[in-house]
Amino acid sequence: MPKAALPENATPQVGMVLGGTGPDGRQFQAVVDHVGDDTVKLNLNHPLAGKTLYFAIAIIRIGTAQ
C-alpha cells in the first residue's frame, strides 16, 4: 500500500499493528511486514494463522447417534 495512504502522523515500523475499515464497513487489523521507500507491505492474516493450536477437551458422554 502506498505510504501516502497512511495517516500523516503514522510512522510505519515492521510489526506495527494498523487498523482500518473495509469497503463493507467492517473493521480489520493489519501488521506491517515491510517498509519500503514509498510503500508498506501489510499482512492481513489472522494473528493465529500458521500457528499450531492445542485444545484441551473433556468427553462428557459417549452414546449412539440418534
Q: What residues make up the domain containing 31?
A: 1-66
- Give the alpha-carbon dihedral of 18, 19, 20, 21, to 10 degrees: 160
State the total domains in the chain. 1
Question: What span, in angstroms and rounded, lies between the C-alpha atoms of 43 and 11?
Answer: 17
Give the CATH number, domain containing residue 40. Answer: 2.40.10.330
Task: Calculate mean pLDDT across residues 41-45.
Answer: 94
Per-residue pLDDT reduced to its tens digit, 3-37: 998 888 889 999 999 988 889 999 999 999 999 99
